[in-house]
Each structure stands twice: as C-alpha cells, then as structure tokens.
Amino acid sequence: MNAVAQYGVSIALACRAFEISETCYRYSPVLSDENEEIADWLERLTANKRT
C-alpha cells in the first residue's frame, strides 16, 4: 500500500510534498518487444567488445 492510499493524502499534495510532478508519480514504463530486442543487441555488442 502506498502512502497516498494509506494516509488518504491527495496525489497532488503528495507530489508537492516530495517535489515531483504528477506525471512522474503516474509514470509506468511500457516494455515492448522492440525495446527488448534493442537491449539484447546492446548486451551482445558490449560482450563482444570485452574480448
């Protein structure tokens, strides 16, 4: 349970208290197959450069 729900504080008030935007609070990363493929390529490239 997060503090907003636990203490009944509004999201706007909590964001002001912690000096973050509501957009930042609500952000949820979206992982796509394309991002996973790019990450795999980057890992392989760095592994190849080590040898």
CA 43 from chain center: how many Å?
A: 20
Residue 13 has, within 13 A of its CA and on its CB side, a CA count of 7
Q: What is the pTM of this model?
A: 0.47
Q: Give the residue from 42, 2, 47 showing the smallest Cα distance to 26.
A: 2
- The first and second tokens of residue 23, run together, are 């957009």
> How large is the average pLDDT for residues 23-40?
85
pLDDT at residue 9 greater than cutoff 60: yes
Q: Domain ranges in the chain?
A: 3-50
Query: Across all residues in the chain, what is the average pLDDT?
Result: 84
Determine the distance from the C-alpha atom of residue 46 to the mean position of all C-alpha atoms in its chain, rounded to a whole number. Answer: 24
Per-residue pLDDT, averaged over 15-42, amounts to 87
